Structure 1
Amino acid sequence: MGAITIFSYNWSYLLPEFTVLGFATVLSLLDLFLGKHVKRSLIGWLSLIGILLAGYFVIHNVMTVKDPVSYMADMFRVDHFGNAFKLIFLGGMAFTLLLSLANNRDNDEVSHQSEYYYLLLTGLLGAMVMASSADMITLFVGLELLSLSSYVLVGLRKQSIQSNESAMKYVVSGGIATAVTLFGMSYLYGLTGATNLFEISQRVTEAYSSGYSFLVILSFVFIVAGLAFKISVVPNHLWTPDVYQGAPTPVTAFLAVVSKAAGFALVFRFLFTAYIGLVGPNGERVFMSEMSWYLSIIAGLSMIIGNTMALRQTNVKRMMAYSGVAQAGYLLVPFVTLTQLFFEQSLFYLFAYLLVSFGAFAVIMIVTKDQKTEDIKAFAGLYHRAPFVAIAMTFFLLSLAGIPISAGFFGKFYLFMSAIFHSSYVLSGIMIATSVISYFYYFGFIRQMYMRPGLTEAKLKVPGTAGVVIVIAVLATIVFGIVPGVALDFLHTHFNPNFDFGGMQMPSK
C-alpha cells in the first residue's frame, strides 16, 4: 500500500481506535517520567478520560455513518455492527476503571498500577479491532492483542500463588484454543484461497459443492471450538473458574463482560459473514441444516453444566464464573434460531449482562475486601451493614436469574421467544429448567444477606467510584426492566436491524 493510497482514506472514522491507542502509548511514556511520589491513580483517571473521548467518537460515528466505511481492501470496516459492540466495550471499560480505582487505592493487590491501566487499554483496543475486522488476519491480530493483555492482567498480583497459577492456566488454555482456531482458519483459507471474510463467503459455496463439504464443516467445527475459549462455553470453559478466582476482581469483571463480548463480536463477524450464505447443491442453507445443531449442543451443554456446577461452589468468584458459562450458553440461542431480530436480542442481553455483572462484581469486591474472604458467608448480615448495597445486589441477582422487573428478565424472555418461534423446544426447555436451577445459588446470596447474622454490625465502607458503578448499574437494570422498549427502539433506530453481514440476508427461520 503506497503513501498516496494511505492518505486517500478518511481516517476520522477510526478516531475511537486512535484515541485508545494514543492514550495507551502516551500514558506508558508518562509513567516513565512521573516521580515515585505521584500516585498512579492519575494514570487510571487519565485512562477514563480517554475512554470517554473514544466513546464520544463512536457515538459520532453512530450518528453520521449510514453505510459501511472500508479500509485497506476491506480488512477493516466501520459499520453499525462494530459501533454497537464498541459502545459495549467502552461502557464495560469505564466500569472496569472505576472499580480498579477503588480496588487499587490501598496498593495491596496490584503493585504495578501503571502497567495495569494501560494493559486494560491495549486489551480494549484488541476488542475494538475484533469488532471492526473483516479479514482473518486482522481478526487474529485483535484477538491476540486482547488475549496477551488479559494474560498479563490476570497474573499482575505477583505475590499471589493463586494469581500466578491462574495466569499459567490461562496462557496454556489460551494457546491451545488459539492453535485450534488457526487450524480451522487454515482449512478455510485452503478451501477458498482468501482471508477476507466477504471473499470467503462468495467462494465457500463453490468449495462445498465441489466435493469438499466435509472439510468446510470441519473448518467450522474447529473455529467454533477455538472461539469457545474466548466466550467461555463448553468445551473450552474449564479455565474460567480458576482464572476468575485468581485475578483481581476488576480484571475478573473485565474478562466476564468485555472479553466475552469481544468473543461474541468475533463469532458474529466471522461465522455469519463466512458461513451464513453457504448454500448446498439442492439450494438448502447449510448453516441451518448442518451447522446450527453444533451450536445448539454447545448452548445446551453450557447452560446445563454452568448452572449445575455453580450449585457446588462456595467461592463467590468461582460461582460467578460458572454463572458466566451458563449466560454465554443463553447468548448462543439466537445464533441457532436466527430470527430477524437476533442482532437486537443479542445486544440487549449483552447490555443487561454488562450492567448486572459489573454491579455484582462491584459488590463482591467491596464485601470480600472487607471480610478478607471470598466465601459466600462473607455476605452474611450485609443488609444490616449496608442496606442499599444489599438491595442493589438483590436486583443484580434477580436480573441474572431472569426474574421480572429486571433487564435480565426481558433479555431471557426475548431469547426464549426466539427459540419458541424457531420450534427449538429442546433449547427452550433447557433454558427454563436451568433458569430454575440458577435460583438456588443466586438466592443463596440473598439468604446470607437477609437471613444470616454477620460477624460484625459495623457499617460497610463503600469507595466512591465503586458506589458510582453500583448506582448506575442498579438504576439502569430497574429502568430497562420496566421499559425495555427504550433500549430496543434505540437499537432499532441507530443500528440496522437487518444488518446482513456481507450481503446475505438473515433467514426469518
Structure 2
Amino acid sequence: MNADTLLSYQWGQMAPEFIILGVAALLSLLDLFLPKSYNRRSLAWIALVGILIAVLSLIGLFDSKTASILHDTFRLDSFGKAFKLILLIGAACVIVLAESYDPREGFKKYRGEFYYLFLTGLLGAMVMTSSGDLITLFVGLELLSVSSYILAGMRKKHAGSNEAAIKYVINGGISTAITLFGMSYLYGLTGTTNLMEMKDVMTAQAASGQYMYLYGLAFFMVLVGLSFKLASAPFHMWAPDVYQGSPTPVTAFLSVVSKTAGFVILLRILLTLFLTMPGDESQTFSFLETHSIYISCLAGISIIAGNVIALRQRNIKRMFAYSSIAHAGYILVAISALGYFTFDAVWFYLMAYLLMNLGAFAVIQLITDASNSEDIADFAGLYRRSPLLAAGFAVFILSLAGIPGTAGFIGKLNIFMNALMTDPGHFVLASIMIGGTVISYFYYFGIMTQMFFRPAATTEKIKVPAGIGTVVVIALAGTILFGVAPNTALDFLHHNFGSFNDFLK
C-alpha cells in the first residue's frame, strides 16, 4: 500500500477512534514519567475530556453518508454511530466513577494504569461497532477482552480481585477459542474474511444445500463463543465471581460497556451473514429464522437462571451480576424475535440499561467503599442517612424491575411488543419475560426494604462526592425522561440514524 492510497482514505471517519487512541497513549506516557508521589487521580479528567471530544466528533459524523475505508474493514454506518454513542456515554460515566473510587487497599498505586487500560478497552469496543471484516472484529474483541482481564485484577493485593482476574482469563480464553473455531469455518467455506463478500458467497452456496451443515456448525460455535462474552446462561459461570471481585468501576464497565460491545459483535456477525442466507432448500425462511430457536433457548434460560439465582444472593455486586444475566436474556429475546423494531428495541434497551445500571453502581460504590462491605444489609436505613440518595437508588431499582414510568419499563415493553408482532408470535418468550420480571421484584424490592424499612447501624450522614453525585443526577434524569417521554430517545434515533437501512449495504 503506497502513500497515495493511504492519503486517499477518508480518515476523518475514524476520528473518534483516533482521539481515544491518542488520549490512551498520552495517559500511558504521563503515568510512566510522572513521579510516583504525584496523585494520578487527576488523570481521570484528561480521560474524560478525551471521551467528550470523541463524542463531539461522533456527533459531527451523524450527517455523513455511509463510508468504508481500508478495503471495507472499517464501516461507518448508522449502526456504528448509534452504538458508539452508547459506548462513549457509558465510558464517560465510568471514568467519573473511577475518579471517585477510593478503596482502602490495592488501587491507588495502579490508578494511572486503570485510565489508559480502560480507554484501550473502549477503543476495542468502538472498533467492533464499525468492523466490516472478521479480522478487525476479532482484533477489537481481544483488545477489549485483554484490557478487561487486567482491569478485573487491578487490586493486586485483594484476593477477590485476583480470583476474578484468573477466572475471567480462563473463561475468556475458552470463549475466544470457540469463537475462532466458528470463524475459521466461515473463512474456510467462503475464502474471505470480509463480511459483505462472505454474505454473498454464503447466500449462493446455501442454495445448493451441501454446505448447510457446516454453516450450521459455524453458526453454533460463534453463538456459543459470544454467549460467554454476553454472560448469557448457561455460559455465565464467570460473571458472578468477576463482578464481585473486580473494583466497582470495572464491574460497572463490564455490565454496561462490555455487554453493549458483546451485543454489537453478535448483531454484526449474525445479522450480516445469516439474515439473508436461505435456511432450507425451499428458501422459504432465512437461516437465522430457521435456527433462531437456539437464541430463544439462550434468552429463556438466561432470564430464568439470572432472576431465580439472584433471589439467594446477599452480596450486592453478585446480585447485580445475576441481574445482568437476566437482562442479557431480555435483549436476546429481541434478537431472537427479529421483528420490525429489533434494532430500535435493542438500542433503546441498552441505553436505558446504561442509565439505570450506572446510577445503581454509583450508589453501590459509595456505600460499599464507606462500609468496606458489599452485604445488602449495609444499605439498611439509607433513607435516614441520605434521603435523596435513597430516592435516586429506588428509581434505578424500579427501572431495573420494569415499573411503569421508568426507562426500564419502556425498554421491556418495546422488546415484548417486538416479540409479539412477529408471525408467528413468540408467545413463550413473552411469557418467560413476564415471569422473570415478576421474580425480579422479590430481590429488587428486598433492597428497597433494607433502605426504607430497616434501622440503620449508624446515623452518620453520607457525604456524596461530586463525581458520584453527577453520575447519579445524569442517570436519574435520563431514566425518568425516557420513561415518561420515550419518544425523546426514539425520535433522536430515527432522525439521526434512520431505520439502519444501510446495515447490509
TM over 0.5: yes
Contact kept, 8 Å, 2:300 with 2:429, in 1: the verdict is: yes
- Aligned to 1:70, the other structure's residue is in SS state strand
Matching residue of 1:469: 471
CA displacement at 1:33 relative to structure 2:
2.4
Matching residue of 1:219: 218
- Aligned to 2:207, the other structure's residue is in SS state helix
Evaluate the alpha carbon distance shift between residue 123 and residue 498 of structure 1 in structure 2; reply closer, same or farther with a 3 A threshold.
closer
Counterparts in 2 of 1:92-241, with a 5 A limit?
92-104=90-102, 109-210=107-208, 211-241=210-240
Evaluate the alpha carbon distance shift between residue 129 and residue 317 of structure 1 in structure 2; reply closer, same or farther with a 3 A threshold.
same
Matching residue of 2:56: 56
Contact kept, 8 Å, 1:340 with 1:498, in 2: the verdict is: no
Counterparts in 2 of 1:252-401, with a 5 A limit?
252-279=251-278, 280-401=280-401
Does 1:479 pair with 2:481? yes
Contact kept, 8 Å, 2:105 with 2:155, in 1: the verdict is: no
Matching residue of 1:453: 455
CA displacement at 1:500 relative to structure 2:
5.0
Structure 1 consecutive aligned stretches of length 4 or more whose deviation exceeds 3 Å: 104-110
- Aligned to 1:466, the other structure's residue is in SS state helix
**Amino acid paired to 1:171:** V
Counterparts in 2 of 1:62-81, with a 5 A limit?
62=62, 64-65=63-64, 67-81=65-79
Q: How far apart, in 2, do the equivalents of 1:471 and 1:499 lie?
A: 35
Task: Render the CA deviation track for 1:8-41: whole Å, top value 9, x for unaligned.
Answer: 1121121100000001111111222222332101
Contact kept, 8 Å, 2:77 with 2:503, in 1: the verdict is: no
Task: Render the CA deviation track for 1:132-164: whole Å, top value 9, x for unaligned.
Answer: 001000000000000000000000100011111
Contact kept, 8 Å, 2:123 with 2:144, in 1: the verdict is: yes
- Aligned to 2:165, the other structure's residue is in SS state helix
CA displacement at 1:315 relative to structure 2:
0.3
Q: How far apart, in 2, do the equivalents of 1:326 and 1:265 lie?
A: 18
- Aligned to 2:75, the other structure's residue is in SS state strand
CA displacement at 1:457 relative to structure 2:
0.8
Matching residue of 2:426: 424
Contact kept, 8 Å, 2:27 with 2:43, in 1: the verdict is: yes
Contact kept, 8 Å, 1:272 with 1:501, in 2: the verdict is: no
- Aligned to 1:77, the other structure's residue is in SS state strand
Q: How far apart, in 2, do the equivalents of 1:147 and 1:389 lie?
A: 33
Gapped regions of structure 2 (runs ≥ 5) = none
CA displacement at 1:284 relative to structure 2:
1.9
- Aligned to 1:277, the other structure's residue is in SS state coil
Q: How far apart, in 1, do the equivalents of 2:353 and 2:333 lie?
A: 15
Q: How far apart, in 2, do the equivalents of 1:259 and 1:433 lie?
A: 27
- Aligned to 1:374, the other structure's residue is in SS state coil
Contact kept, 8 Å, 1:128 with 1:142, in 2: the verdict is: yes
- Aligned to 1:274, the other structure's residue is in SS state helix
Identity of aligned residues (%): 51
Q: How far apart, in 2, do the equivalents of 1:8 and 1:147 lie?
A: 32
Task: Render the CA deviation track for 1:341-393: whole Å, top value 9, x for unaligned.
Answer: 21111111000000001000000011111122101001000000000110001
Q: How far apart, in 1, do the equivalents of 2:289 and 2:85 lie?
A: 34
- Aligned to 1:36, the other structure's residue is in SS state coil
Contact kept, 8 Å, 2:106 with 2:155, in 1: the verdict is: no
Gapped regions of structure 1 (runs ≥ 5) = 504-509
Matching residue of 1:438: 440
Contact kept, 8 Å, 1:355 with 1:476, in 2: the verdict is: yes
Q: How far apart, in 2, do the equivalents of 1:156 and 1:108 lie?
A: 8
**Amino acid paired to 1:490:** F
Aligned residues: 501
CA displacement at 1:479 relative to structure 2:
1.2
Contact kept, 8 Å, 1:151 with 1:170, in 2: the verdict is: yes
CA displacement at 1:208 relative to structure 2:
2.3
CA displacement at 1:285 relative to structure 2:
2.4
CA displacement at 1:288 relative to structure 2:
4.4
- Aligned to 1:73, the other structure's residue is in SS state coil
**Amino acid paired to 2:393:** M
Report the aligned-residue RMSD.
1.2
- TM-score, normalised relative to structure 1: 0.97
